[in-house]
A and B are shown apart, each in its own frame.
Chain A
Amino acid sequence: DGGITQSPKYLFRKEGQNVTLSCEQNLNHDAMYWYRQDPGQGLRLIYYSQIVNDFQKGDIAEGYSVSREKKESFPLTVTSAQKNPTAFYLCASSPNRGREKLFFGSGTQLSVL
């Protein structure tokens, strides 16, 4: 099946720890996005990438890092510098530099121990 897969579904982080959220797509899409969603809120853009080996900061990039070494993969690292990481993280992809609809993964819920 073609689609976009996020893992894990639930993730727990200890104080001072970096954690990495996985996002993989087999849709051959150029553009990939990471969003953060807090309870009852909308989505806020963390990072986005329109081509391999290139990515841009979104509105809330501080405390996060990404890489885009392969077209199908766009992992997000939540670093220890992110002081309030508890949130629902959503990854999305889109063809044509994002000028078509976004396809979303099912999300990762990150909580702090």
Chain B
Amino acid sequence: SQQGEEDPQALSIQEGENATMNCSYKTSINNLQWYRQNSGRGLVHLILIRSNEREKHSGRLRVTLDTSKKSSSLLITASRAADTASYFCATQDRDDKIIFGKGTRLHILP
């Protein structure tokens, strides 16, 4: 089973615009993380938000977490061509399993 479900599955925006991706999950979590993957590569960690936190920032990234709705969002501001990648959310449940969603494919248009 896949705990997280990202939305949308694919997103194309113009360079300089903001990109928003959403993640929904099913069970109680310890934390939620966002990762980026360039084609054929390993994943790179972007940001971790714990279950008792509501918002975190890192550079051009902003993550929110709503545990009552079991959802999170990732905002990338002022997008760049280098942001083109797949983005995944991952949740750690109470059994310490880390489960990934299916991802959002982001394409930044020049």
Question: Is the CB of B1 closer than 8 A to any CB of chain A?
Answer: yes
Contact A45 B97 (CB under 8 A): yes
- Complex Cα distance, B98 from A56, in Å, reads 12
Question: Is the CB of B64 closer than 8 A to any CB of chain A?
Answer: no
Q: Render B6-42 as a binary contact track against A, CB cut-off 8 A, 1 for contact.
A: 0000000000000000000000001101010000111
CB of A32 to closest CB in B, whole Å: 11
With A59-B1, A98-B98 already in contact, the answer to whether A106 and B42 are too (CB < 8 A) is yes
Contact A50 B96 (CB under 8 A): yes
Q: Render A67-103 as a binary contact track against B, CB cut-off 8 A, 1 for contact.
A: 0000000000000000000001010101001111111
Contact A101 B99 (CB under 8 A): no
Which A residues are in CB contact (< 8 Å) with B48? 100-101
A and B contact pairs by CB, cutoff 8 A, 11 listed: A42-B2, A42-B101, A43-B43, A48-B98, A56-B97, A59-B2, A88-B40, A94-B98, A97-B96, A104-B43, A104-B44
Interface residues of B (CB under 8 A from A): 1-2, 30-31, 33, 35, 40-45, 48, 88, 90, 92, 95-103
